[in-house]
Amino acid sequence: MLTVYGIPHCDTVKKARTWLAEQGLEFQFHDYKKQGVPADRLDAWIKAVGWEVLVNRQGTTWRKLDDAIKAGVNDADSAKALMLANASVIKRPVIEQDGQVKVVGFDEKKAAVLVDQRP
């Protein structure tokens, strides 16, 4: 089963959800705004892909942060604290398949692995 984590009004998340549906892939959506960031999953994501991949330093949310806060994000623990406090700083979407991170962000070429690994 696929799980898509993100924010429903994010253009990249919308694009990913539309693409997954067009591929005939079933998924459940986890809304950070309503359901929060699952701390246990965040730990697994950090272990799997690294905090550097998860923190979206290109996004508006990151750019609006105080410089001192940005400077304080320098390891997994500080990144985790920031991501739990402000879900919008997480690169979206995070797509898991059976509990394993498959895609962070969205690109059709990278997401093709989900079609290839369809059960």
Which one from 5, 6, 8, 10 is the annotated catalytic residue?
10
Here the tokens at position 116 are 């290839």
Here the tokens at position 60 are 């508006």
- φ/ψ of 68, rounded to 5, equals -65, -40
Query: Residue 52: which H helix or E strand, with range?
Result: helix 51-54
- CA–CA distances in Å: residue 83 to residues 3, 15, 50, 99: 18, 22, 13, 19
Instruction: Return d(Cα 10, Cα 5) in angstroms, integer.
Output: 11
Active-site residue flag, 95? no
Active-site positions? 10
